[in-house]
Structure 1
Amino acid sequence: MQRSTNRTCRRSRTIAVAVALLAALFPALGLTAPVGAQGADPWDAFNQVSGANGAEYIADGSNRALQFRGVNIKTTDPINGASEQVLDAIEARGFNLVRLSIFWNLFEPVDDDYDQDYLDDVDQVLTWAEDRGLWVIVDFHQDVFGPAFGDYGIPEWATDDGGLPFEDTGSFLTNYLQPGVQEAWENLYEDPEIRAAQAEAWTRIATEYRDHPNVLGYDLLNEPFGKMREGEDLFTAAARVERVQLTAMYQRLTDAIRTVDERSWMFIEAPNLASLGIATSLGRVDDPRVAFYPHMYNTDIETEIYNGSGDPSGYDSNFFANWAAAITTYTDRYPVPMLVGEWGVPTPYEGLDRYIAEALVTLEETSSGWNWFNGCLGGGYCTFGPDGEDREQVDQIVQPYARAIAGLPDEHHYDPATRTLRLTYADGEATGATELVVPSAKHYPAGWSLIVDGVPVGSGAADEPSTGVSGDLRRAVADDSVVVESPLDGVDVVSLAVPQDGTTHAVCITPLEAAQRCDAPLAEEPTAEPPSTGETAPSDAGAPSDAGAPESGAAPSDGRSSPGAGESRPLSPRFTG
């Protein structure tokens, strides 16, 4: 992709929204100028609002509820694994969030001896992401604890295995159950010196990156685990670890980070048992900016593909309801925003399109954002093909969405069958514009229509760019009541301001050729994305799977391998712990 040398100039290019409108109806609608749509701080996300639907949202200084769509970048080589080419591909789909892994053993390989080159590489990636309008959550990542057990994460100098044995079983899950790994987790939580070292490490990370305005916050520990004590099974141990050890650790780390960074969000995870329908026992972390950040992986999908047996699409369709019921117990107890830190499929085999479609519906219903695993170029879990192109089935995750809502969100749903985005929200205390991200080239090659409270406000055609909103539109409504920017070819950002009148508003994006209605029926069941009108990259079904098959029935965790360059040791295959 040829990049502009002046991104600010490129982002200000405006396309026409007045291809078709009913000018006589605009005064009745009463659109007003979207205050804050232009010139506002784009990196303001440090309030919280409650939606009309009962969910909690991260909000900006104008009390607009924010939503996020994005990917993980898991790599041990930040410059190459999170390269400008990868970030370009992320930006080009209209995504706005990256979860970027860092590894303690790489930035502090020796106690109190930090690798500044590694930290500077991460710093460079954060700058590249900011240039592309991407929020970043810095992910303190571990797999099977760390290098003492053949992976990445907690450094060996901070690993106390009590002299207990470790035997690589070839299974990610059962490696977590090895005596040495179990003891290392126990000492991470209980040993005063290791606890202090972990807090110091996080303080250093926050000090390094707190001045990046696009750092949304810190994921305090990827997929934590713990020790099964005598008389416990996996689930009773997890409940105790969450309630007693993990909650306390998150509070310690939050308190440490707050000594140097008062602004960023803290993202907390539970052991990845919700995929088995097991609710978390994690407690409250006392801080005004804490968000729950669970993962969603389907055991059937993971094991069928890894084991090479059966139909990879033959998963239990109750999975999503069970996952949602388990995971929302936390946000039912504690009023915090929830985003989903990881979800995805090992390889987009035929038949997984329906799984991805159902997952997207579940994520819309339970969270205000998500990160697909993994943001890389190639095969396997990668979002994009080797040259940054769409991958068959995975490209379903590119959808229109509202990234900022000037009110109290109620419904947010994209229906791929009708290519209709429907947003409803109640008036609240928010000011400024509601902002919609519209991947116009992918979903609306013939153009799209914007409908607000039943009134067709205007439309945009992908092949009719211009330098400004038409004079007819400006005369029909207050100046700048609807602004459409095209930050990249094929992606439109719609900003609109609807006056507050104490009611609930409905905003829709529909195909230009469709009947201009905002109450179009949604598909009764999730439907896979219809084929794109452009060329689609061939499926990567023939790509080799990650090594190391899990035991049948093992839940997925975070050992997914990403093909970033420069990795000194292969990352583990992924399935749960």
Structure 2
Amino acid sequence: MTTAIAVLWSVWLAACGSSAGSDGASSAASSANAQTLSTSGAALHRDGAFMVDADNRVVLLHGVNAVWKLKPYYIPQTAQGFTAADADFLAANGFNVVRLGVLFAGVMPQQGVIDQNYLDQVDNTVQLLAAKHIWVLLDFHQDQYNEKFQGEGFPDWAVSPSLLPNDAHYGFPLDEFLSLALNGAYDKLWANHGGIWDQYQAAWAATATRFRDQPFLLGYDLFNEPWPGTLWATCFEIDCPLFDATLQKFQQQALAGVRSADTSHFAFFEPQQLFDFGAPSRFGKIDDPALGLSWHSYCSAELLSSTGLPDLPDCAILEPRTAGNAATQSAAMGATSLLTEFGASDDLGDIGRVTRLADQHLVGWTYWSYKSFGDPTGAAGAESLFSDDTDLSTLKAPKADLLIRPYAQAIAGTPQAMSFDTTSKAFSLTYVPRSSTAPTEIFLPARQYPNGYQVSVQGAQVVSAAGASLLRVMNNAGASQVQVTVTAAR
């Protein structure tokens, strides 16, 4: 995207958006002792707006995306890709979920033929994560449909012949707005041209069959960033109920494929892509007990990250709006909510805003992206956690300071509020206790508390060892509310 077009688009987005107790003390925490929330890996389930574990604790997730968009569409077990060292890094720093890319082009490279070897290769990464008790969300990822349009996701056989010349040469995401050929391909998808929906459903059925018994499987993200095709202009600022109805129908058919094999794990719907920039979504109620809304939050911070220009006002307007839209849409669907993409740049102001919003809305997240993974539609290294993807010692410290943060991984109650002040290092959690014999578990990274921390608890008792990076508190019998406050030791 050229700088001029990026600026104009962001200004327009901004204009559109504007219309609308007992005390205890712990000493130095050690990230080497970091643990994740569950030891069983049993499927999580939904209780109202929240994900809940087998011990009846509300679960919050912080993690990353890991998507290899290039052929052969799975992450290699190399230093540039993903190895046991990467799984160790994530677990040690409190990340308890990974949104892992699985491409339709890899699952069904030939029409009607499932490539089991491809799923085996995906499983290599799944096993590395499960061994560290990190939840895995399998994501059927696509951007700009197919390599023919400078994107990825759909196999070549799913690209129907067209009389239009291939004019997808503007780059991501401008091709989505300007390419007639690309938008024509999406139009054919949403019209179920050639019965493509049945093939997509079959690919999901095969994937769910392969992974349904996998411990630490969070579930399935049914379609990354659905682009409305030629209807995109009707979906920017106003409702586009016609496309939303079609998209819901498409994802419900994909859901049927998943549910033919797996009725336990979460299945996440995604709204049309312009939702990411503040547009609404109007999915109706969906009768499924393990339903989720997977949503993204982006603004000019990502569009301008490679230009050196400052953020425009749209971010402060659109990011809260998107979070509010997600809460409204997930409630209307009868679903839990997970922010599955944000960031994609080294813009610290943007990352800080979105993580604060996630805490305010008590929603988990997966940052885009763990590494760059040769992303053809990404921001050339800016999105990664590392300066050099092959060297974990090159962690970008300012970004890590925002993402490796205190949070409640498992709450023996219904959360009311959670916050972390990146300046003072004060963390606070308030919840109403619920029936559970397991403790509330709060990750407290040494990165934030190098000299240790102090804990003040009302309505519960600290039961973890001094200095533990996973603070555990047990509810007091009869307590009507629990409040936990953590401050940095001096």
TM over 0.5: yes
Q: Does residue 495 in structure 1 map to residue 488 in structure 2? A: no
Change (3 A) 1:197 1:335: closer
Change (3 A) 1:276 1:124: closer
Paired residues for 1:402-551 under 5 Å: 402-440=408-446, 442-453=447-458, 482-484=463-465, 492-513=469-490
Q: Which moved more, 1:443-452 or 1:109-118?
A: 109-118
Change (3 A) 1:73 1:38: closer
Q: Does residue 397 in structure 1 map to residue 403 in structure 2? A: yes
1:417-440 CA-partner distances (Å, limit 9, x unpaired) = 221221110123344211111112
Match in the other structure for 1:42: 40
8 Å contact from structure 1 (residues 145, 185) kept in 2: yes
Change (3 A) 1:158 1:297: same
8 Å contact from structure 1 (residues 226, 237) kept in 2: no
Change (3 A) 1:180 1:500: farther
Match in the other structure for 1:322: 321
Change (3 A) 1:316 1:216: closer
8 Å contact from structure 1 (residues 302, 345) kept in 2: yes
Give the C-alpha shift of residue 46 in structure 1.
Answer: 2.7
Change (3 A) 1:242 1:510: farther
Give the C-alpha shift of residue 236 in structure 1.
Answer: 8.1
8 Å contact from structure 1 (residues 485, 492) kept in 2: no
Give the C-alpha shift of residue 116 in structure 1.
Answer: 3.2
| Aligned residue among 21, 28, 53 for 1:60 | 53
Give the C-alpha shift of residue 101 in structure 1.
Answer: 0.5
Give the C-alpha shift of residue 208 in structure 1.
Answer: 1.2
1:354-399 CA-partner distances (Å, limit 9, x unpaired) = 3322221111122420000111279321013432133032111110
d(CA) in 1 for partners of 2:344, 2:310: 14
| Aligned residue among 367, 370, 375 for 2:370 | 375
Give the C-alpha shift of residue 78 in structure 1.
Answer: 1.5
SS of equivalent to 2:99: strand
Paired residues for 1:150-229 under 5 Å: 150-160=150-160, 162-177=162-177, 178-189=179-190, 190-191=192-193, 193-228=195-230
d(CA) in 1 for partners of 2:36, 2:270: 35
Match in the other structure for 2:236: 235
Change (3 A) 1:485 1:435: farther
8 Å contact from structure 2 (residues 60, 409) kept in 1: yes
Change (3 A) 1:376 1:279: same
SS of equivalent to 2:316: coil
Give the C-alpha shift of residue 497 in structure 1.
Answer: 1.2
Give the C-alpha shift of residue 157 in structure 1.
Answer: 1.1
8 Å contact from structure 1 (residues 436, 493) kept in 2: yes
d(CA) in 2 for partners of 1:237, 1:508: 42
Match in the other structure for 1:263: 264
Q: Which amino acid aligns with 1:216?
A: L
8 Å contact from structure 2 (residues 43, 215) kept in 1: no
SS of equivalent to 1:212: coil
Q: Which amino acid aligns with 2:76?
A: I
Q: Which moved more, 1:265-274 or 1:147-156?
A: 147-156
Identity of aligned residues (%): 25
Change (3 A) 1:260 1:152: same
- Please give the TM-score of this superposition, normalised by the length of structure 1: 0.70
d(CA) in 1 for partners of 2:186, 2:487: 51
Give the C-alpha shift of residue 147 in structure 1.
Answer: 2.7
| Aligned residue among 356, 359, 362 for 1:364 | 359
Match in the other structure for 1:11: none
Match in the other structure for 2:289: 288
d(CA) in 1 for partners of 2:409, 2:247: 32
Q: Does residue 73 in structure 1 map to residue 62 in structure 2? A: no
8 Å contact from structure 2 (residues 344, 383) kept in 1: yes
- Please give the TM-score of this superposition, normalised by the length of structure 2: 0.82
Match in the other structure for 2:336: 337
1:71-121 CA-partner distances (Å, limit 9, x unpaired) = 000113423323323323222211100000011112321123333332211
SS of equivalent to 2:397: coil
d(CA) in 2 for partners of 1:128, 1:353: 30
Change (3 A) 1:19 1:432: closer
Change (3 A) 1:240 1:173: farther
What are structure 2's unaligned runs of at least 5 residues?
1-23, 28-34, 374-380
What are structure 1's unaligned runs of at least 5 residues?
1-16, 21-36, 51-55, 459-481, 514-577
1:266-297 CA-partner distances (Å, limit 9, x unpaired) = 01111222343211122333211111110011
SS of equivalent to 2:230: coil
d(CA) in 2 for partners of 1:316, 1:290: 29
Q: Which amino acid aligns with 1:384?
A: F
8 Å contact from structure 2 (residues 344, 384) kept in 1: no
d(CA) in 2 for partners of 1:394, 1:18: 28
8 Å contact from structure 2 (residues 276, 295) kept in 1: no
d(CA) in 2 for partners of 1:19, 1:301: 38
SS of equivalent to 2:409: strand
Q: Does residue 95 in structure 1 map to residue 99 in structure 2? A: no
> Which has more radius of gyration?
1
Q: Which amino acid aligns with 2:484?
A: V
8 Å contact from structure 1 (residues 105, 155) kept in 2: yes
